[in-house]
Amino acid sequence: MNRVLKIVSFVVALVLSPTVLAAPLAVTPKVTLTNPAVQDQDDMCVWVHPKDPAQSTVITSDKSAGKLFVYDLEGALVQTVPVSGKPGNIDSRDGFQLGEKTCSIVAFNERDGSAIHLYAVDPETRQLSRVDDGAITTGLNYGFTLYRSPKSGAMYGITVPDEGEGYVEQYLLEATSSGQISGKRVRRWAIGQAEGCVADDRTGMLYIGEEKVGIWAVDAEPDGDVPGKLLQPVGAHGLVADVEGLCLVYGGGGNAYLLASCQGKSTYYVYRLDDALTFVKTFTVRGATITDGIDIVYQKLGSVFPNGFFALHNGMAAPYPVLLCDIRDLALTLE
């Protein structure tokens, strides 16, 4: 075959290649969460209003500003909460029994003081008030998640470590007689630097993104075997360091996914939530790069997000906002 025909054949093959045609889905964000006090909102969680889901909020953690910010679903600021220290990853759970009342809690790891802080959500005002006893101290921490055991109903806070050799630490969170929340360490094990982590309250599994290594699956019960299994190592399906935020979403018909932020190439990985974390696809978000934290909610939340949203930290430029994307645009099979 002559040189011209070889070039033509190569170009035709390149155009028709499945690899070239299968470009990642690009999603356009719908709402931006920011305000004049923001410096770097690199993680977030969602509180769903128990009576009116349209009044739900997104709580962001800004380690540089030393503040939490509470927003409504249209991006209006509801509350600013000063933090004594550097708030890290943030998470929420409903149904915590605190004295005579059941409340929703929001919790995060505080990096400077090596601690866990907890807040209760007032469903009338949608504002936060601190409820821990000020004594839940940890080892050096970098990331955090909450976990409610499907076996015992107990609530736990789990921290993961910063640079170098550190430890995953798990703390039992319990109400005290004075109406606060205390914490007691129940286990720990060694791991490299990690920030993103998420616990599945349905299956009792904990997923940890070790930044340079990949995604681990570990039994989240305090007597479970550690360190678990490395299910998606860096290098698999193009995953590169740093592996950052992780979140879970459950749909109907057994459809469930783990999503991961691949910070090294500003791409989001989708895995089927099965024993192998089977790779499904990747997608990007227009205008978003260098993402740390992510979260997702699949629920009817009013006219702005009628089916829910995907939330992400945008590390492109300061002040670093949180972006909300319509969950339908992710083209996940959730019905």
> Can you tell me whether residue 11 is helix, strand or coil?
helix
pLDDT score of 26: 97
Give 222-262 as a 3 state SS string.
Answer: CCCCCCCEEEEECCHHHCCCCEEEEEEEECCCCCEEEEEEE
Question: Which amino acid does the sequence have at 2?
Answer: N
What is the distance between the alpha carbons of residues 234 and 222, in angstroms, rounded to a whole number? Answer: 27
What is the distance between the alpha carbons of residues 229 and 26, in angstroms, rounded to a whole number? Answer: 31
pLDDT score of 22: 62
CB–CB of 283/235 below 8 Å?
no
Find where tokens 């907890």 sit: 118
Domains of the chain from N-terminus onward: 40-329 (2.120.10.30)
What is the distance between the alpha carbons of residues 17 and 20, in angstroms, rounded to a whole number? Answer: 5
Record the tokens describing residue 290, joined without a space.
Answer: 């260098």
pLDDT score of 23: 76
Residue-level length of the chain: 335
pTM over 0.85: yes
What is the distance between the alpha carbons of residues 164 and 63, in angstroms, rounded to a whole number? Answer: 20
pLDDT score of 18: 43
pLDDT score of 64: 96
pLDDT score of 14: 39
What is the distance between the alpha carbons of residues 50 and 124, in angstroms, rounded to a whole number? Answer: 10
State the 10-residue block means of pLDDT for the chain, 335 residues long.
36 41 85 98 97 98 98 98 96 95 97 97 97 97 98 98 88 96 98 96 98 98 97 97 97 95 97 97 97 98 97 96 98 93
